[in-house]
Structure 1
Amino acid sequence: MTAFLYPRGCRPIQADNLFVVASAYHLILAHLLARDTAVAPGTSALLMKHQPVTSFPELYDAVQADPGVPFQAVYFLDRPGRKYKRRWRALIDKTRAAGMRRVAKGVSPRRLFIFNEDDLNQYAARILRRRQAEIIAVEDGAIAYIDQRMTSSPSERFKSRLLFGPRTKAVEVEGASSNIDRFYARFPARVRPELRRHVVGLPASDLDFFNTMAWPADYVQRVGATLEDLSADVLFMLAHRNNFKGHDGYARVIRQAVAEHAAAGDEVAVSYHPREREADWLDLTALGAKLIPHAVPSELVYLAGRGSIRRVYGDIGTALITAKWILPDTPAVSLMRSLDIHDDKLAGLFESLDIERR
């Protein structure tokens, strides 16, 4: 029942810290935290959970092949794609749960680091809580700072409890549940009220460390891209179109901004949300922009463009917040005013980070 756990037939080895990640953003933060002996003393292991929005098998292969990573072991929990019919999904989830259980018990860490409280992470937290482990949550982007709540249907909650146990909760605010002992945030003074009781500021980040890592460039190559594909003077990081349903001016505002920079002779690159089904639904290549490959997450684009990207545009997504972290000296612009988007919490956060709103 561990068919989706890699390396095949592995016997997880004990480590002091276990990091469970499901995105490139999580992965980068896990690297930085694992290197900080005050946060994660001792040895560390990494579990990467496959998500369909990133080419996670290739990302796992690149990370595992890099001898410079701060993890003594790297595991991968796969998830088969859409070819599996709905009736098999429950078996797949149970098999993934078995893989999670094997890693949690085998590593038996003193500290579990998670970036959300999905069903699998809750399951691991309950296993390790019984072994007196500390459960530590780390922010997962803008959701830690705005008022948005997660929702689930009664049928989804029933399924979760059936597959992962009756103590599985429908979490509305990631990191706020009673399972969490500490919550790390980049901007602790700005987190939403539910997280303030146990928030801790993330330690200062030495992003130059990634210059010594082989896996970012290796991953880009594995997904058929090059570092040249990621180069740009001006970068547009766009949220999913579903965020702007009913907003007729969205396409006009984005196209106008892209056209202005392209006409000025800037090299313009556009990164659409990885869940977008159309490669270029705003037809921005016709205006002179080039497209960042879908498989390359924004964090790796920023790391590749440190020192060359002169301006980053976005709307309301986490990408702008991450840009000010990885590219602190690069101007970042939110088009939320042009798009007539009103969110006082997000506007306050953008203002504190010197993200221009226009």
Structure 2
Amino acid sequence: MANSIYFASTTLHLYVASAIAASRPGEDAHLIFIDQPESKPYPLYDIVRNWPGSPFSSVSLFYGRFPGLFNKLRKRRQLFAALSQKLMQLRPEHIFTGNDRRIEFQFAMHKAKAIGSSAIGHYMDEGVFTYLGRDASSSFSDRIIDNSIKKIIYGLWWKNPPTVGASDWITYVHPAFPELIHPLLRKKRLVPLNAASFNSKAMQSLSESILLKSGIPPESLGAVETFITLPHESIFENEPLYRERIAFIVRQQTELGKAVAVKYHPRNKSPDSLDLSSEGIHLLPAEVSFEALLPYLSSECEILGDLSSTMIMARWLRPDLKVNAFSLDNSSFGILLRTIGISKYT
């Protein structure tokens, strides 16, 4: 049986990788978590290792965020050595990633070729970049400076993608909305993702495990009538009117008698930047993944949020839900959200 490797650095990567792996029964799938802070507990790793319905034959964790420049370079060499051993052991025919800028993926593709495996590269939909592209990829800094430095440090095998998912390493793209992907990705072979794959019993058990680990009884989400997902707190700090608008919306929903739940951005420094707990709403743990919450929301629930990947994922994975944005301008992102059926909250 052919081996395949799936690199995941986010919960979304895990969910998409799991759905794809489950749909490819002719392969032996192996999951590798990457890009996590060194020596910091990573609960998702243990959850997946103990996941009864897992489509993965093995699960590994390779840390990727190291403090200090020289320490980082030394640890990167160790990382490459560990990856080399894994690739020699598995000799994968397919390698999946949610970001082909990740050094782990590019090294794996290079190493696989060097040992005669000739693995095929796959890009898994990660959200915004899939549809709007990554403007920074075409900047002088990325194309010339960053590209040259990485080639000098790591080797000529490093390839600077013109946008995420468009590097020469990628043959197949797995998008949620194939008709809307960035033009550079349309040059690849497309394999549309199937949202139904996320409704399997195995995926539900994964979501349940993630919620319970965060202290959330899954059944409690069924009572939520308005679910608000918030951007990073820097938005509130830089735009005072934004803070007032969110507070107004929360107050408006509670005055309508709605059961409101709010999830802050996981990288916020403050647990309650807007002091919403005083409004009598249900604050969900910021670190819990949005993907794990979605399956347990009632079909009557309304999701409110801003211009982010969570809105795209909500529209795709739960097409039965009403999804509205706080603001919806005529930017490329605003047009994308309108195209997939998201309206402006009024």
TM-score normalized by the length of structure 1: 0.84
Q: Deviations over 1:29-72 (max 9, x none)?
A: 111111213xx6322111122535xx872111111112311111
Instruction: Determine whether 1:257 maps to 2:249.
Output: yes
Change (3 A) 1:243 1:103: farther
- The one-letter code sitting in structure 2 at the alignment partner of 1:34 is A
1:150 to 113, 124, 136: 136
Q: Secondary structure at the match of 1:249?
A: helix
Change (3 A) 1:51 1:294: farther
Q: Secondary structure at the match of 2:5?
A: strand
- The one-letter code sitting in structure 1 at the alignment partner of 2:125 is E
Offset at residue 173 of structure 1 (A): 0.7
Instruction: Determine whether 1:127 maps to 2:111.
Output: yes
Instruction: Determine whether 1:176 maps to 2:166.
Output: yes
- CA distance in 2 between partners of 1:286 and 1:257 (Å): 14
Give the % identical residues. Answer: 22
Q: Secondary structure at the match of 1:123?
A: helix
Query: What is the RMSD of the two structures over their aligned residues, measured on CA atoms?
Result: 2.6
Q: Is the 8 A contact 1:111 1:134 kept in 2?
A: yes
Offset at residue 100 of structure 1 (A): 2.4
- 1:4-19 paired onto structure 2 within 5 Å: 15-19=2-6
- 1:121-270 paired onto structure 2 within 5 Å: 121-130=105-114, 131-150=117-136, 157=147, 160-206=150-196, 207-210=198-201, 213-227=204-218, 230=221, 232-242=224-234, 246-270=238-262
Q: Is the 8 A contact 2:28 2:56 kept in 1?
A: yes
Is there any run of 5+ residues in structure 1 with no aligned partner, and where?
Answer: 1-13
- CA distance in 2 between partners of 1:90 and 1:224 (Å): 38
Is there any run of 5+ residues in structure 2 with no aligned partner, and where?
Answer: none
- The one-letter code sitting in structure 2 at the alignment partner of 1:173 is T
Change (3 A) 1:159 1:228: farther
- The one-letter code sitting in structure 2 at the alignment partner of 1:35 is A
Q: Is the 8 A contact 2:121 2:171 kept in 1?
A: yes
Give the corresponding residue for 2:290: 298
Change (3 A) 1:333 1:61: same
- CA distance in 2 between partners of 1:156 and 1:292 (Å): 39
- The one-letter code sitting in structure 1 at the alignment partner of 2:47 is A
- 1:94-109 paired onto structure 2 within 5 Å: 94-109=77-92
- CA distance in 2 between partners of 1:293 and 1:300 (Å): 12
Offset at residue 181 of structure 1 (A): 0.8
Name the one with the larger helix percent. 2
Instruction: Determine whether 1:330 maps to 2:321.
Output: yes
Q: Deviations over 1:273-328 (max 9, x none)?
A: 111111111222222222211221111111232x3561001110010111112211
Q: Is the 8 A contact 2:53 2:202 kept in 1?
A: no
Q: Is the 8 A contact 2:18 2:55 kept in 1?
A: yes
Offset at residue 208 of structure 1 (A): 2.3
Q: Deviations over 1:195-215 (max 9, x none)?
A: 111151424232221466533
Offset at residue 94 of structure 1 (A): 2.3
TM-score normalized by the length of structure 2: 0.86
Change (3 A) 1:156 1:280: farther
Q: Secondary structure at the match of 1:214?
A: helix
- CA distance in 1 between partners of 2:318 and 2:41 (Å): 25
Q: Is the 8 A contact 2:132 2:333 kept in 1?
A: yes
Q: Is the 8 A contact 1:230 1:292 kept in 2?
A: no
- CA distance in 2 between partners of 1:309 and 1:217 (Å): 20
Offset at residue 237 of structure 1 (A): 1.1
88-97 vs 132-141, which moves further? 88-97
